[in-house]
């Protein structure tokens, strides 16, 4: 009985969408909570085979170097790149760093899904973290709150990358083909509009 309940809770699809949240490190549980709020049960992705059958993946914030260590240890690079080519991905903060084609401060490996250059800790250190109302964005009508925690900064974007949100003329959310990258944390300020955009619901 309990097991059945668990099974159901663990994986419910909405319009055939099967959503996973990379759960190796970082604040994945807040993303899962947001998806629950929207009535979407998601799957914690802890192993490469968990990617199978998914249509959407969220790569959460945390520490990109720690995530990279996991990626290197168990060869996540190819499976994740392959997944990103065929399915939808959204990377927030450290997740955005991992999706970028080029990373600086310092330079490090990445999945190279979005042709953009990103600078780690682009606004400074932990004490320079901030919250800013984002008025100009494509997620909906109302302003959203951007929570920037040791956030990266998008330095440059190449052709085909669409800016979805900006502050002071700088992109803080971008889209390229199947991929979204946000330098802030929509799961912290509970910005449902961002998830609805990603899931097209």
Binding residues among 33-72 for ligand GLN as defined by CB under 6 A: 61-64
Q: Is the dihedral of CA 126, 25, 174, 200 positive or negative?
A: negative
Q: Is residue 93 involved in binding ligand GLN (CB under 6 A)?
A: yes
CA 17/CA 98 separation, integer angstroms: 23
* Closest among 103, 105, 111, 99 to 174, alpha carbons compared: 99
CA 106/CA 59 separation, integer angstroms: 20
Q: Least CB distance from residue 110 to ligand GLN, whole Å?
A: 11
Whether 78 sits among the annotated catalytic residues: the reply is: no
Q: Least CB distance from residue 117 to ligand GLN, whole Å?
A: 14
What DSSP designation does 161 have? P
State the catalytic residue, choosing from 56, 137, 175, 187: 187
State the catalytic residue, choosing from 93, 137, 175, 191: 93
Q: Least CB distance from residue 77 to ligand GLN, whole Å?
A: 17
Q: Is residue 102 involved in binding ligand GLN (CB under 6 A)?
A: no
* Closest among 196, 166, 160 to 183, alpha carbons compared: 166
Binding site for ligand GLN (CB under 6 A): 61-64, 93-94, 97, 120-121, 149-150
Catalytic residues: 93, 185, 187
């Amino acid at each position: 009985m309990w097991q059945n309940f668990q099974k159901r809770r663990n994986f419910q699809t909405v319009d055939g969408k099967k959503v996973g949240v990379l759960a190796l490190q970082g604040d994945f549980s807040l993303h899962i909570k947001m998806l629950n709020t929207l009535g979407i049960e998601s799957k914690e992705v802890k192993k490469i085979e968990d990617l199978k059958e998914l249509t959407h993946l969220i790569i959460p914030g945390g520490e990109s170097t720690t995530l990279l260590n996991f990626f290197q240890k168990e060869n996540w690079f190819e499976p994740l790149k392959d997944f990103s080519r065929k399915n939808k991905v959204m990377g927030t903060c450290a997740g955005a760093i991992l999706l970028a084609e080029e990373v600086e401060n310092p330079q490090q490996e990445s999945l190279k899904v979005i042709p953009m250059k990103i600078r780690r800790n682009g606004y400074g250190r932990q004490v320079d973290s901030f919250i800013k109302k984002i008025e100009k964005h494509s997620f909906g009508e109302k302003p959203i709150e951007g929570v920037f925690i040791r956030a990266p900064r998008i330095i440059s974007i190449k052709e085909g990358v669409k800016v979805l949100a900006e502050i002071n003329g700088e992109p803080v959310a971008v889209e390229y083909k199947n991929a979204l990258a946000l330098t802030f944390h929509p799961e912290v300020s509970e910005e449902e509009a961002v998830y609805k955009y990603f899931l097209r619901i």
